[in-house]
Amino acid sequence: MKVVVATDSFKGSLSSMEAGNAIKRGIKQAHPYANVIVRPLADGGEGTVEALVEGMNGTYHYVNVTNPLGQKVKACYGIIECTTAVIEIASAAGITLIDTQEKNPMLTTTYGVGEIIIDALSKGCRRFIIGLGGSVTNDGGAGMLQALGFDLLDSQGQPIPQGAQGLKKLMTIHDTHVFPELKKCDFLIACDVNNPLCGPQGASAVYGPQKGATPDMVKELDDLLEHFSKITKKYNSYANPSLSGCGAAGGLGFAFFSFLQGQHHSGIKLILKETHLESYLTDADLVITGEGRLDFQTAMGKAPIGVAQLAKKYHLPVIAFAGSVTENAIECHQHGIDAFFPILREIITLDEAMLCDVAQKNLTNTVEQVFRLWSLK
């Protein structure tokens, strides 16, 4: 029996590979001779670097960069096969990097994201997988562009200040000092956000409030991003702020698409392609997936559903395991998951349940029991 395991991380508890290997132990306890293949899984958001580095024999790299408020923070990214960098922009521009009372999208910058890219360039990377989730910024990617050498200048020919507030002064954009290596790079943008840059469904209106924007600030931020898009059109006539995903990460998507020829991909589809999961399914008998919490949002296209839909291409049964399962998770049955099981085995606190060793034990033991039943087929 060949079983392919591809489970998302159990956030705050187990990484993708830790969960996958716990599942493998459970299968082996019931079927010692089963051929169990564990593959990494992520959706482009939190955990993407860890999943790809651990699952594809990559390496971690650390670099001191500028955090959203201009202070220094140590950011982590991954390199796979020597030339592909995997970057979560949240490691430099993430909402968890600053305190709640410090949130101010007028001031926060994406400069550190550019610094990570520069470090990866210096190590020979020319292909980038970029996860856009979890930002606390709304500067349209202006900070990142400045770090990469783009000249964003005011009427006096001086660099504009960092943060969205700097866009008020933006008059011209030049690329004279841009790192020349960027012209040889491919940027694959993992993003499941479809918002345009501006308007009622844009970056500022939809995501600004969670980043600290007041209602008045939302309107001003939206106007600033519109101004940025108009100046960008003078630099690149093909720039289109209405494109799906331009509003991701406070407009960082727009910067990648307009200045770096970024290619927009569904997060889960991109990761499934990069990890070559399909090649492991052609002769499999069963597929296992899962995540920390299985609910109606899972059914809307999160990572386990991506795995399930790919498995159904080969008419394979799919079982999911999760730390917890809500009543409306039954929707997952309509999207390729044939059966799902919560792993909690006794009444304990949430903090106890999320301890790494407890979660691994519960996952392994639950999987073992399911596969003992499977052996009765």
191 and 326 fall within a common domain: no
Residue 289: pLDDT over 80: yes
**Which of the four pLDDT bands, split at 50, 70 and 90, describes residue 212?**
very high
Q: How confident is the model over 252-272, as pLDDT tens digits? A: 999 999 999 999 998 899 999
The average pLDDT across 179-188 equals: 95
Q: How confident is the model over 8-49, as pLDDT tens digits? A: 998 888 999 999 999 999 999 999 999 999 999 988 888 899
Q: For residue 239, give the amino acid letter.
A: A
Query: Is 273 inside any structural domain?
Result: no
Q: How confident is the model over 64-99, as pLDDT tens digits? A: 999 999 999 999 999 999 999 999 999 999 998 999
216 and 117 fall within a common domain: yes
Q: Return the pLDDT at 374.
A: 81
94 and 192 fall within a common domain: yes
Query: Is 34 inside any structural domain?
Result: no
Q: Return the pLDDT at 298.
A: 85
Q: Return the pLDDT at 347.
A: 84
Q: For residue 202, give the amino acid letter.
A: G
Query: Is 127 inside any structural domain?
Result: yes
Q: Return the pLDDT at 377.
A: 63
208 and 326 fall within a common domain: no
Q: Alpha helices, DSSP H only, in the chain?
A: 16-30, 48-55, 90-93, 111-122, 142-147, 203-207, 215-235, 252-259, 267-274, 277-281, 296-299, 303-312, 350-353, 356-374
Domain of 184?
A: 48-267
Query: Is 353 inside any structural domain?
Result: yes
335 and 263 fall within a common domain: no
Q: Return the pLDDT at 66.
A: 97
- Residues 120 and 128: beta-carbon distance below 8 Å: yes
323 and 259 fall within a common domain: no
252 and 303 fall within a common domain: no
Q: How confident is the model over 338-352, as pLDDT tens digits? A: 999 999 888 888 888
